[in-house]
Amino acid sequence: MFSSLRHPLNFLLVIPILIAACSSSDTEHAFTVPTEGSGVVIVLGHEVVDYDTWQSGFSKHDSLRTQFGVEVQTILYGEDTPELVWIILKAPSAEAAEAYLVDVGTARTMESDGVVGEIYRAVLDKGFSSPVDASIYPERLIVQHRVKDFNKWKEAFDGHIGSRERMGVVDLFVSHPVGDSTDVHMMFGISDVDKSMDYMTSDALKIAMRLSGVVGEPRAYFVHVAE
């Protein structure tokens, strides 16, 4: 099931993942809250018929995104399955983000670019960002799960930043949809494939998840940053 992180993105792969480590607390590289007015984050995930065709079309639609103040932040895909694509965008407000997502032009460009199947979309609060340089981590992990109480979960999560890093898992971003703090979204950089695999499949992590208030099954997506 976890044969290699070097060939990522199993779409909707469900695994126990990354809530807290079982060693003592650390506060290295603590998350910070972006400044006021820094907008919201749009997360889009979908399958495309052909990545090169999609990428060529997507790059030509900047004018449509500009109408809504939407900017592309990161494009990610599976190394072995490049037809599975994730796009991280930034919008000036939740209203602008929603308007962009429901616009008929957005739907038409997706169709013309070869988007097929179910589309995952979320409009996230500006969230918490790590000060580490994300560009040095081409391999990433996107995780989404529900929690009973965000503040309680976040306190446990923040207590073990250093422990995760020692196991090859580097915090990059934590957020939740606007108006719903129980639906947590995270992005991590992978610095050590083997250590991170051991960490993610540990029984101790499953227990930590339960104690921090995670409910339901997490979803995890192994991805690679597009050049």
Cβ contacts of residue 40 below 8 Å, gap of 6+?
90, 91, 92, 93, 94, 97, 123, 124, 125, 126, 178
Q: Which of 152, 158, 220 is nearest to 186 (CA)?
A: 220
Share of the chain above pLDDT 70, in %: 84
Rounded Cα distance between 42 and 91, Å, is 7
User: CA 113 → CA 62, 136, 190, distances in Å?
Assistant: 14, 29, 30
Mean pLDDT of the chain: 82
Ranked by mean pLDDT, which of 6-20, 84-98, 118-132, 207-221 comes out on top? 84-98
pLDDT digits (tens, 9 = 90+) for 3-33: 233 333 333 333 333 333 333 344 445 555 5
Distance set, CA 171 to CA 22, 66, 80 (Å):
17, 30, 24
Say what the pTM is: 0.81
Structure tokens belonging to residue 73: 């932040």
User: Domains of the chain by range and CATH?
Assistant: 40-122 (3.30.70.100), 128-225 (3.30.70.100)
Mean pLDDT in residue range 69-97: 93
pLDDT at residue 167 is higher than 50: yes
Confidence of residue 218 (pLDDT cuts 50, 70, 90): confident
Residue 44 pLDDT level (bands cut at 50, 70, 90): very high
SS3 state of residue 88: strand
Cα–Cα distance between 70 and 167 in angstroms, integer? 35
Cα–Cα distance, 138 to 78 (Å, whole number) = 11
10 Å Cβ neighbour count for 215?
Answer: 11
The CA-atom distances, in angstroms, between 192 and each of 5, 138, 182, 196, 207 are: 10, 12, 29, 6, 23
Q: How far apart (Å, rounded) are the C-alpha atoms in residues 200 and 10?
A: 15
Nearest to 188 by CA among 5, 47, 38: 5
pLDDT of residue 111: 95
Share of the chain above pLDDT 90, in %: 56
Residues 52-70: tens digit of each pLDDT: 999 999 999 999 999 999 9
Selection from 140, 155, 144 nearest residue 196 by Cα = 140
What is the maximum alpha-carbon separation in the chain? 51
pLDDT (0 to 100) of residue 32: 54
Per-residue confidence (pLDDT) for residue 24, from 0 to 100: 37
Residue of 67, 109, 115, 71 lying closest to 89 (CA atoms): 71
Contact criterion met (CB below 8 Å) for 156 and 209:
no
